Structure 1
Amino acid sequence: MDFTLSPEIDALRLKVRTFVADEIEPLEADPASYNEFENIRMDLRDRMRAKARAAGIYAPQMPTDRGGLGLPMIGQAALYEEANRSIFGPSCINCAAPDDGNMRLLSMVAREDQKDRWLQPIIDGAVNSSFVMTEPHPGGGSDPGMMLTSAEKQGDKWIVRGRKWFISGAAVAKHFILVARTDPNPEEKRRHLSAFLFHRDQPGWKIVRRIDNMGPDEHGGVCELEFDGLEIADADRLMEVGDGLKATQIRLGPARLTHCMRWLGLAKRCMEIAAEYTSRREGFGIRLADRESVQLKMGELAHDIQIGRLLVMHAAWMLDQGDFARKEVSMAKVHVADTLQKAADVAIQLNGARGYSKDTILEWIYRYARCARIVDGASEVHNMVLARFYAKEGQDFWRWGS
């Protein structure tokens, strides 16, 4: 496992670093750059996307024949980390959630005609997308076996009824990927779900509410949806009947890892802000950076970030080899989520009142970081996964290679 970047990927990484520093980061200081949900205004985002496309750093994860860079997962890890040096970076180069995971899934499993209709507009930035899976109690969350939203076959159409919530991006999305129960047998736990594609303008469903949260929100927030007779043509079914669980696994594994790639960029930005401030702030005749207590915090944080980067690269390398890397992705997800929150907390503490204020982006990152231990599987769920792997593998849990 050699994580040395190829000259081509490293050159792209440096291009992203320069673009983010010169074009995107300055936008953070201007209140006019933000929408009412504390994210970059979408019209401004679209202008930056045009610049990113012209710079040759747009859609790193997508195939070159569809306008992307066609990078392997290890290349995406390097670029996503650089992109999220700015809180606006991933959205501006089109590698932000939830579109990132949705594009990846459609690119991997959709038919060519489905890619033309449902995927290409997301790549082009013409539409936003949403993945519709999570349900309120007693429906499915981390356990998809509990899913209650149903899709019933009637002729050449499927009729959808049920309720979903905490659906990322739904408020602005036009293209949706829906997972629903197609086998009513409650004992069936593997082939009970199927995946479907639908457009915002189709009747038979509605957004009940955009759920308020700590924020800041990704574009489209998180919403509660109700389905009351949505009709989806069988031609808009994604994969085969009963492949819904497979579709979620294909999407969510890499999506968890790309979250980690971006979070590492934010964690490094927090440390950078802390380092700059402590290097010039003095108290009681000594710079903060020269105090042992500050050095201990900074050293520990640098250590944790590097562990996270190695975990992410290992999982990315395994995905590039064709492995599902479930164990490796779970380890990265738990560690990097904790590291992001720790980085924001340490940086705020070292900046004092300045960090708690909106004079820096640290308080933005701090609030955003809290969701990292919940989204795409709570840390406790991933630790359960790791415990099951250990119970099954024993000492081979730590084997070398895949």
Structure 2
Amino acid sequence: MDFTLSPRIEEFRARIAAFVESEILPVEADRGTWDEHENIGPEALAALRAKAKAAGLWCLQLKPETGGQGLGKVGMAACYTEMNRSIFGPVVFNSAAPDDGNMMVLEALGTPEQKARWLEPIVSGAVRSAFAMTEPHPGGGSDPSMIRTRAERQPDGSWRITGRKWYITGAEDAAHFILIARTSDDPRYGLTAFLFHRDQPGWEIVRRIPIMGPEEHGGHCELAFDGLQIAPDDVLGGEGKGLKVTQVRLGPARLTHCMRWLGLAGRCVEIAQEYAAKREGFGVRLADRESVQLMLGGLAMDIEIGRLLVMRAAWELDQGRFARKEVSMAKVHVANTLHRAADIGIQINGARGYSKDTVLEWIYRYARQARLVDGADEVHRMVLNRHLESEGRGFFAWPTAEA
């Protein structure tokens, strides 16, 4: 495993870093550009997206024939971390959740007709999208086998959807949706993925759920389905292949979260270092206090461990493997590192960190969800234990090249 970046990937990483520094951070610093949900406002976002497109920094994660640059997961890891040095970075480059994961799964599994209708508008930035899987109790959350939203085939071959979803990220602003519903009680082939447009009748947004932290565009919504009709051509991946769709989408999506969170963790360190270097108390700079040095040194180590875990998982995905245990390890470690980085950043900055004079408090509130989204810490640790039980000492084996 050689994580040396190719000159091409390094060029993209450096260009993204420069773009974030010169174009995005000044917009982030101006609270007048924020919307009411503490995200970047539509006018500022449109202007930055136009600049990112003109600079050739748009949808780097997709294949060239889809409109991207085909960087692969290792290249994405390097670039996504740079993007999220700003809290507004990923959405500017069209690399933010949930569009990021939706584009990748549509690229991987969509038919040519589905890509033209459902994928291309997201790639161009004309529309946003959402992934509707999670349900209220007793429906499915981390366990997709519990999904209760049902799709019943009609005499004309279409599907009729009934059920409920919640905490669907981006739903209020989304035009294109991927929906996971039950089409049979088969434990392996009982789920199917469907595509639908927001203007189709038979469903509604019940509410935009208030949350503790800042919100993605379109919020986190509860949806009700009461007769949504979906045509046979809008089945993604084939009937009964919904579990495969979730696997193809959620594994890489969990890892791209980690890539972005490493950028936010690094930003916390940056703000803490800057303040510690100039703030004095009792005749000593904070940066010269051993307690502060221990906090920042330990945090730097945790971030580097996270980088290595993410790169290992990205490399595995680039080899064509699912990398389930590698992604789970990265997800748990990086989510907790982000939470710790925001906490330490606030602690070193004192009252300034708790105020809105920096983005530390924004990151702190955002970071708490990291240990829940795409599988809580405990779920991923259970997954790791299952691998440990089945693989034994092989759990720790190194990948080896063929002779």
Q: How does 1:73-112 map onto structure 2 within 5 Å?
A: 73-112=73-112
The one-letter amino acid paired with 1:285 is G
1:162 aligns with 2:160: no
Q: Deviations over 1:233-261 (max 9, x none)?
A: 00111011100011001000000000000
Q: Could you say which residue in structure 2 is the equivalent of 1:136?
A: 136
Mapped partners of 1:43, 1:178: distance in 2: 30
Q: 1:253 aligns with which of 251, 254, 268?
A: 251
Opposite residue 162 of structure 1, the aligned amino acid is G
Give 1:34-183 correspondences, 5 Å limit: 34-154=34-154, 155-183=156-184
Q: Secondary structure at the residue paired with 1:198?
A: strand
CA-CA distance at 1:68 after TM superposition:
1.2
Cα distance, 1:119 vs. partner? 0.3
Moved more, 188-197 or 367-376: 188-197
- In 1, are the aligned partners of 2:203 and 2:227 still within 8 Å (CA)? yes
- 1:264-283 aligned at under 5 Å gives the runs 264-283=262-281
Q: Find the aligned partners of 1:142 and 1:189 in 2 and give their Cα distance.
A: 15
CA contact (8 A) 1:197 1:238 kept: yes
**What's the offset of the Cα at 1:56?**
1.2
Contact 2:66–2:107, Cα closer than 8 Å, also in 1:
no
Q: Given that residues 27 and 44 in structure 2 are in contact (C-alpha distance below 8 angstroms), is that contact kept between their aligned partners in structure 1?
A: no
Q: Deviations over 1:48-94 (max 9, x none)?
A: 11100111111111111232111110000000000000000000001
Q: Distance in 1 between matches of 2:223 and 2:20?
A: 35
Matches within 5 A, 1:205-354: 205-354=203-352
Structure 2 counterpart of 1:39, one-letter code: N
2:266 counterpart SS class? helix
Q: Does residue 23 of the first structure (1) align with residue 27 of the second (2)?
A: no
Structure 1 residue runs of 4 or more that deviate by more than 6 Å after TM superposition:
none
- For 1:312 and 1:111, locate their aligned partners in 2 and report how far apart those are by CA, in whole Å: 30
Partner residue, 1:378: 376
AA of the residue aligned to 2:191 = L
Q: CA–CA distance in 2 between the matches of 1:235 and 1:324?
A: 27
| Equivalent position SS for 2:249 | helix
2:366 aligned with 1:365, yes or no? no
The number of aligned residues is 399
CA distance in 2, matches of 1:46, 1:115: 24
- CA deviation after TM superposition for structure 1 residue 326, in Å: 0.1
**Per-residue Cα deviation, 1:82-140 (whole angstroms, up to 9, x for no partner):** 00000000000010000000000000000011001100100100000000000000111
The alignment partner of 1:121 has SS state of: helix
Quote the Cα distance in structure 2 between the aligned partners of 1:182 and 1:253: 23
What displacement does 1:42 show? Answer: 2.2
The 3-state SS of whatever aligns with 1:173 is coil
Q: Secondary structure at the match of 2:364?
A: helix
- Structure 2 residue aligned with 1:33: 33
Quote the offset at 1:32 in angstroms. Answer: 1.3
In structure 1, distance between residues paired with 2:287 and 2:48: 36
Deviation for aligned residue 1:19: 0.1
Contact 1:61/1:72 (<8 A) preserved: yes
Q: Deviations over 1:260-313 (max 9, x none)?
A: 000000000000000000001111111100000000000000000000000000
Tell me, yes or no, if the aligned pair for 1:253 and 1:324 is still in contact at 8 Å.
yes
Instruction: Measure the CA separation in 2 of the matches of 1:47 and 1:175.
Output: 23
Give the aligned partner of residue 389 of structure 2.
391
Moved more, 59-68 or 209-218: 59-68
Q: What is the rounded CA distance, in whole Å, between the counterparts of 1:74 and 1:341 in structure 2? A: 24
TM-score (norm 1): 0.98
- The answer to whether the Cα contact below 8 Å between 1:315 and 1:329 also exists between their aligned partners in 2 is yes
**Does the residue aligned with 2:166 lie in a helix, a strand or coil?**
strand
Q: Residue 139 of structure 1 aligns to which amino acid in structure 2?
A: G
Structure 1: tracts of 5 or more residues without a match: none
SS in 1 for 2:148: coil
Q: In 2, are the aligned partners of 1:46 and 1:125 still within 8 Å (CA)?
A: no
Alpha-carbon distance in structure 2 between the residues aligned to 1:127 and 1:239: 22
CA distance in 2, matches of 1:380, 1:66: 36
Residue 9 (structure 1) aligns with: 9
